[in-house]
Structure 1
Amino acid sequence: MDVNAQLTDQQRVELAGLEYQPLGVGDHVRLSNGKRVGRVKRAFYKQDGLRGTIIVNHHQDHKEITVLFRGSSGLRHGNPTTWSNEWLATNLPIGRSIVEHRVGEIPSQLRSAASLLNRLMQQDLTAHYYIYGHSLGAINAQYALANCDYPACLSEAWLYEGPNVYWLLNDQQKAQAAVLRNKINNYIDSLDIVTLGYTDLHHAIGRVRYVQSILLDPISQHMWGGYQFDQNGRLYTKPVAEYREKIDRELIEHVSQASSSWHQWRQEQVKKRQELNRWLPYR
């Protein structure tokens, strides 16, 4: 049996969290209980900021391939490149599209994720594929799955704390997401401000699971901090949060303001850089 199929909810969260770790090619990937997931086959990085890790576990008759789509580096720990690729070019535009339920231009990082997953599956159609993503990683994974050309290859996906990308899809992509719905587990902490757009569970990618969480500071909340597990590692969940629609309406204004502020900051930085470049040659 595949290792991924044997994991508890708590172990899957631990595995998803490894997307933020600097895993190197050839590294053995093990969980805290010693369970071996496989070896790192490849760490991918694209110029548009897409990052993640591919882990392979060899079985007698097939390969078990785990794909970890990496989330955002964060405003505190990022650099100018990550701020541009992850926030200005990806997170904020997506946030505005989601809360306003309109299809805008699809960021390059999402398209890269879809292309990567399809190429990976095409290389081995007999492998069992397991997809994980958190935050921006969940965004990329959702879009990649909605564009999956080989749905039979997907065994299951576990996504955490990402906004609802369904509102960015065209009709063909929505139909593909529906085909894979029962294979995608989409976990949402209602207290996490990042989880936008889940006002209607009939318009979402995968089966949405609402986490019965505890209230923490925003960063800890987003990083699985509010998740609670029983003694067997099962995650506590709850029925659909009735206040989601109210929260999303209130967030529309905040997201729009944040996006405007970031664009203004970016324009100021570009202007300063241009002035500096004009000044430097005369030193």
Structure 2
Amino acid sequence: MTANFSDVDLQVISKIQYKNGYKPGDEIGYTNINGEWERIGYLYQTIDNRDTGLYTYMVTDRPVSSEADFEQVKSVHVFYRGSEGFLSLITDNAAFKKDWYENDFPTAWQIVNKIKEEYTPQLIDASNVLNESMKQFPNAYFDLDGHSLGGMDGQFALSEVKEPERIRSAVFMNAPGLAPILTPEHMKWTQQVKNRTVQFYDRYDIVQKFGNLELYGLDSHYSDLKTLAMNPRASGYIRNRLLEEQWEKYTRPMDTVGRLVMIDAKRVDFVSQHIYGGQQFDSYGRLLLSNTIQNDDLILKEWRKSVELYDQLYAKGVIKKIAQIRREYQAYSEKSPGGAKIYLDLGVASVLIDGVRALLSDNVQRIHLDLDRMLAQAEEIWAETQAQLVQFAPTLGIMEANAHLSGCGSSYSSVVGPIQEFVDKQKQVLLSLEVEYMELLTSIKNNATELWQTDSNNAARINF
């Protein structure tokens, strides 16, 4: 999964979790908005745990035929499947009961009543599967996908993931929000992947209303609206408008796992609404967003930028270094419990700073090249102008050609000069920003190191 997918591609990718018939080694992918086949990877494993109801696809970037391939895998895409449909009441009654009676209904009750520290078997299983897979593929980053119950599975897995820096992205659709039932420690853990996690919210999807929005600012006006809306003599239009439009003024997104993006949903039937039916796209494959309660366009844009930054840091080896530091943390914490957390934070901060410094240098160099290319193009335009004039007036020499161009108000200084001036000015600004930013990064790193050293010295004095 790359950062160049369209919004409609996200929906198509999410639907992969509901497709059946895959076998280990099968190529998994989708047809993008341009009609081109995009490969996500190869099915490594289908997890169908009948005890918990968890159904998950594990897709790797290359075929895996033996344990020797585990360390070669660079990316793993985890698809958490949602609840079994109502047809399964007949075709697979046991699976239906696992999803609905042992997971969906109990979790919905917990969300409404904000009951924490009680999690269903499937949520726990989803967390275990992710952490075990991370051990199995130690050098891979992970993308998560989940719809409905699968989205809840993914949210809970993120709240207990052992190496959050290896989560590249997470996309959840039509899923209730788990934040009301997660402990403060769980929510604190999800903050480490918040900017790379996005949940798409459909206000007409009844299932998704659990745990995502809350009412606030209730007053007499709200009470009047509620009374009118519940009046059996009110028309369906009035009830719908009051319930779905006016009440929106008194709702706001709750604290969530990741970022909540509210779509500009269309109304369809109850079942279709929950199965991606409310999503609308423009001709470019962009999802129509609400932007009424918050700036949804900006949130989705920031999510994409976070994934792009992750890819850059991964390419620089930063993600791998952070994962290694976290593994070393376990050994360090046994020797120095007091300084272990600061050791971890310092190590991660130092690696991130070094990674950002490397990205900064790369980008500065790229901008320099772009500026030089701009100047070279101006030079080429001037040379081509001279050549064309000489070609059409072969009796003129280059000096005469320049004189005629100057008489027309065109000269090297008027064509190339402004570009040269712009390029020189931008390079000066770039140099100033680079020096300033490098000094800031160095200062942050020095301060963090000093803090860790002070903590270690104090711990040693009291034999801690």
- What is the TM-score normalised by the length of structure 1? 0.80
Amino acid at match of 2:23: G
More displaced, 155-164 or 27-36?
Answer: 27-36
More displaced, 3-12 or 180-189?
Answer: 3-12
Q: Give the alignment of 1:130-169 within 5 angstroms.
A: 130-169=143-182
> Is the counterpart of residue 17 in structure 1 residue 36 in structure 2?
no
Q: Equivalent residue for 2:288?
A: 236
State the distance in 1 between where 2:56 and 2:123 align: 13
State the distance in 1 between where 2:4 and 2:134 align: 22
Instruction: State the 1:104 CA deviation.
Output: 6.1
Higher strand share: 1
State the distance in 2 between where 1:137 and 1:156 align: 15
Instruction: State the 1:82 CA deviation.
Output: 1.8
State the distance in 1 between where 2:106 and 2:293 align: 25
Q: Equivalent residue for 2:54?
A: 50
**Superposed structure 1 runs of 4+ greater than 3 Å apart:** none
Q: Equivalent residue for 1:198?
A: 212
Q: Equivalent residue for 2:260?
A: 208
Q: Is the 8 A contact 1:190 1:241 kept in 2?
A: no
> Is the counterpart of residue 182 in structure 1 residue 190 in structure 2?
no
Q: Equivalent residue for 2:112?
A: 99
**Secondary structure in 2 matching 1:208:** strand
% same residue: 25
State the distance in 2 between where 1:169 and 1:120 align: 23
Gaps of 5+ in 1: 243-283
Change (3 A) 1:62 1:82: closer
> For each residue in 1:234-262, what CA deviation from the matched residue of structure 2 results, as whole angstroms up to 9, or x when unmatched?
211113659xxxxxxxxxxxxxxxxxxxx
Amino acid at match of 1:27: D
Larger radius of gyration: 2
Instruction: State the 1:101 CA deviation.
Output: 2.1
Q: Give the alignment of 1:47-86 within 5 angstroms.
A: 47-58=51-62, 63-78=74-89, 79-86=92-99
**RCO comparison, higher one (Cα < 8 Å, 6+):** 1
**Secondary structure in 1 matching 2:157:** helix
**Secondary structure in 2 matching 1:230:** coil
Q: Equivalent residue for 1:109?
A: 122
Amino acid at match of 1:174: M
Amino acid at match of 2:270: P
Higher helix share: 2
Amino acid at match of 1:76: L
Q: Equivalent residue for 1:220?
A: 272
Aligned residues: 239
CA RMSD of aligned residues (A): 1.8
Gaps of 5+ in 2: 64-71, 215-252, 295-464
Change (3 A) 1:13 1:169: same
State the distance in 2 between where 1:119 and 1:62 align: 15
Change (3 A) 1:226 1:197: same
